[in-house]
Amino acid sequence: MPALESLLDRLIQGRVQFCIVGGFAAMAHGVTLLTQDLDICLPFSTENLSRLQNALAGLNPVHRMTPQRLPLEITEENASRLKNLYLDTDIGQVDCLGEVKGVGGFDAVLGLSQQVTFGQGQCWLLGIDGLIRAKEAMGRPHDQLTILQLRAIQHRQSQGG
């Protein structure tokens, strides 16, 4: 987990505009299942993607879903065509999503999020309701386990515990 936290710190320090979604967000809410990557939703503007590239500088980010594993290189031309980025770095994977299935684009994700402090800074974290919607939309077996835990956490919180 330290590697994912290190990636998160770099994004915060690099002033990337993003929201944590997926397994890491679920863990931040108390889910006990582990995750191997950092999933974030972000606006895919040239400026924000350039900040992402700068934040990951020195970690050799490459596109892991392409056979050539090309290095991350953001330009004005390609930024307008990008919808998602699935990256491997020297310290871990980061999945950059333009929208979250079951929730929507960055603005919709923010509407279901809260600001939290991680490491030396603040960022956005998708709330439990949004995570449940996203996990339901994905429908994978491990998402079902996550939903069960998220609902239990939600119930405990509503009971004041």
Query: pLDDT (tens digit, 9 = 90+) per residue, 87-134?
Result: 999 999 999 999 999 999 999 999 999 999 987 799 999 999 999 999
Here the tokens at position 24 are: 């890491």
Q: Are 41 and 19 in contact (CB under 8 A)?
A: yes
* Domain boundaries along the sequence of the chain: 2-149
CATH of 2-149, one of 3.30.2310, 3.40.50, 3.30.70, 3.30.460: 3.30.460
Residues 74-85: tens digit of each pLDDT: 998 898 899 999
In the block, tokens 């993607």 appear at 49
The pLDDT, as a whole number, for residue 61 is 97
CB-count burial class (<10 Å; 0-12, 13-18, 19+) for 147: buried
Q: d(Cα 87, Cα 128) in Å, to the nearest integer?
A: 25
pLDDT above 60 (res 7): yes
Q: Where are the beta strands (DSSP E) in the chain?
A: 19-21, 37-41, 62-63, 84-89, 92-97, 99-100, 104-105, 113-118, 121-126
pLDDT above 60 (res 136): yes
Stated pTM of the model: 0.94
Q: Are 125 and 19 in contact (CB under 8 A)?
A: yes
DSSP code of residue 16: -
Q: Mean pLDDT, to the nearest integer, of 26-52? A: 95
Nearest CA to 89 out of 36, 23, 29 is that of: 36
Angle formed by the axes of helices 128-138 and 141-158, nearest 10°: 160
The pLDDT, as a whole number, for residue 120 is 78
What are φ and ψ of residue 18, in 5° steps? -160, 170
Q: Mean pLDDT, to the nearest integer, of 32-53? A: 94
